[in-house]
Amino acid sequence: MSDFLIISTSTDLVRIAQDRIIYISSDGNYSTLILADGEARLVTYQLGQIEKLIAEQLGNSSGKAFIRIGKQLIINRKYIYYINLPKQQLILSDNSSNKYTVSPSREALKQLKELVESERE
């Protein structure tokens, strides 16, 4: 399997190393990939379509780095930095000065917290 996610449309192609993707957010028929260097790349794919591409192109081992959080987010688990349930806040960070705050649903955040806690056992 590849270390790159390739998203191709009739007019363009995006090839991104999987470890550069911090998270992917959805807005209807469009998705925005937020990359480690701060770049935001808009693609004309729904989040479900990107989720399928991740499974197909990255396979089980690399594809498990990505977690679907609710209806509007896919995150790269290696960037999980801080989860706050009462504030409904998830901060993703590359352990440098770059921090990205997203606000998934409380239930999705609770499930993510439980998943991360179970991984350390």
Q: What is the pLDDT along the chain (121 residues), one digit of tens a residue?
A: 578 999 998 888 999 999 999 999 998 899 999 999 889 999 999 999 999 999 999 887 666 899 999 899 999 999 999 999 999 999 999 877 789 999 999 999 999 999 999 987 6
Q: What is the pLDDT of residue 98?
A: 84
**Residue 5, class by beta-carbon neighbours within 10 Å (0-12 exposed, 13-18 middle, 19+ buried)?**
buried
Range of the domain at 54: 4-119
Q: Is there a contact between 121 and 85 (Cβ–Cβ < 8 Å)? A: no
Q: Is 90 helix (H, G, I), strand (E, B) or coil?
A: strand
Domain count for the chain, please give it.
1
Backbone angle region of 24, left / alpha / beta, with phi > 0 → left and psi within -120 to 50 → alpha? beta
Predicted pLDDT of residue 59: 83
Measured CA to CA, the distance from residue 95 to residue 45 in angstroms comes to 29
**CATH number of the CATH domain containing 46:** 2.40.50.1020
In this predicted structure, what is the pLDDT of residue 29?
Answer: 92
